[in-house]
């Protein structure tokens, strides 16, 4: 198994990608610390992992808080005695608006939800990884980093900050045996994308299935990748299979973009 006996913290655990990340890490042998603001979600996913024979510790909390981030790292150390991996998946999508018109509170909320959570949780685990002289950190960004879209400006700004942090950190901590990479997912099949299609179709004057078909037509694989497929890419970045890779952005989007 790719993550046998490793301890991995996954933030933003919930339906869709967060759940898939947690389950895939556990399936590959990791002991998983599950983080989300909603207590029910982390407990549900922890129960799933335990039912499959894995080990998981649910930690409800908001990692954008220094206190919560440090508490999460302490819980991981108390439960398992080490921290080998961190997947910063926590994210929010702010209301769609032109970036020139985004209200200050909306921009702050986007930065808190999409960047500060990763920034603070990463800082909280670094002392342990430095002491171990080993660790792999994966930031989950977005394809909007490569291809900005009207209305997603506040989201894109925060994701750019996340990638800038990842690249700078990779350079700093590489000599200490710690790798830092970014996964940039494209469209993810599931509830969130279904909601987007439902809300967006009337605005464009088409039905939901027509809009879905338009998106699929722009993907080389002619299908919307599933959460598990993105989670597998994150497992690769966490594992020793990627031991020579750091500071990299891995585009995973089914061939929607070739950057």
The string of pLDDT tens digits covering residues 172-197 is 999 999 999 999 999 999 988 999 89
**Which of 230, 203, 236, 208 minimizes the C-alpha distance to 89?**
230
Tell me the average pLDDT across 89-110: 90
The helices-and-strands tally (H runs, E runs) of the chain is: 9, 7
Q: Is the dihedral of CA 115, 117, 122, 123 positive or negative?
A: positive
Q: Measured at the alpha carbon of residue 19, what is the angle toward residues 51 and 116, in degrees to the nearest 5?
A: 135
Q: How many percent of the chain have pLDDT more than 70? A: 100
Q: What is the mean pLDDT of the chain?
A: 95
Q: How confident is the model at residue 114 (pLDDT cuts 50, 70, 90)?
A: very high
Residues of the chain with CATH 3.40.50.720: 7-187+226-251
Predicted pLDDT at 98: 87
**Which of 149, 72, 142 minimizes the C-alpha distance to 114?**
142
pLDDT reading at 228 higher than 90:
yes
Predicted pLDDT at 31: 98
Number of C-beta neighbours around residue 175 at 10 A: 8
Tell me how far apart the terminal alpha carbons of the chain are, to the nearest angstrom. Answer: 30
**Whole-prediction pTM value?**
0.94
Q: What does residue 31 show for φ and ψ, rounded to 5 degrees?
A: -85, 130
CATH 3.40.50.720 fits 7-187+226-251, yes or no: yes
Q: 180: burial class by Cβ within 10 Å (0-12, 13-18, 19+)? A: buried
Q: 53: burial class by Cβ within 10 Å (0-12, 13-18, 19+)? A: exposed
Q: Is 155 a catalytic residue?
A: yes
Task: Pick the catalytic residue from 155, 215, 230, 257.
Answer: 155
Residue appearing with tokens 């930690």: 59
């Amino acid at each position: 198994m790719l993550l046998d006996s490793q301890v991995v913290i996954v933030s933003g655990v919930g339906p869709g990608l967060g759940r898939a990340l947690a389950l895939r890490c556990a399936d590959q042998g990791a002991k998983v610390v599950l983080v989300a603001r909603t207590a029910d979600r982390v407990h549900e996913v922890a129960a799933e992992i335990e039912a499959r024979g894995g080990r998981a510790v649910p930690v409800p909390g908001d990692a954008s808080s220094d206190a919560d981030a440090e508490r999460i790292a302490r819980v991981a150390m108390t439960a398992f005695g080490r921290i080998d991996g961190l997947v910063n998946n926590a994210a929010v999508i702010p209301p769609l608006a032109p970036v020139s018109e985004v209200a200050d509170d909306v921009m702050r909320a986007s930065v808190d939800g999409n960047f500060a959570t990763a920034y603070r949780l990463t800082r909280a685990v670094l002392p342990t990884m430095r002491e171990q002289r080993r660790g792999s950190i994966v930031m989950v960004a977005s394809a909007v980093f490569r291809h900005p879209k009207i209305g997603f400006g506040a989201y894109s700004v925060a994701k750019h900050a996340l990638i800038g942090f990842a690249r700078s950190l990779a350079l700093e901590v590489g000599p200490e045996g710690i790798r830092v990479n970014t996964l940039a997912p494209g469209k993810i099949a599931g509830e969130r994308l279904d909601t987007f299609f439902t809300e967006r179709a009337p605005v464009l004057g088409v039905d939901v299935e027509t809009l879905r078909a338009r998106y699929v037509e722009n993907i080389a694989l002619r299908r919307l990748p599933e959460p598990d497929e993105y989670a597998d890419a994150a497992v690769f970045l966490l594992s020793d299979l990627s031991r020579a890779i750091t500071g990299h952005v891995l585009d995973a989007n089914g061939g929607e973009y070739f950057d």
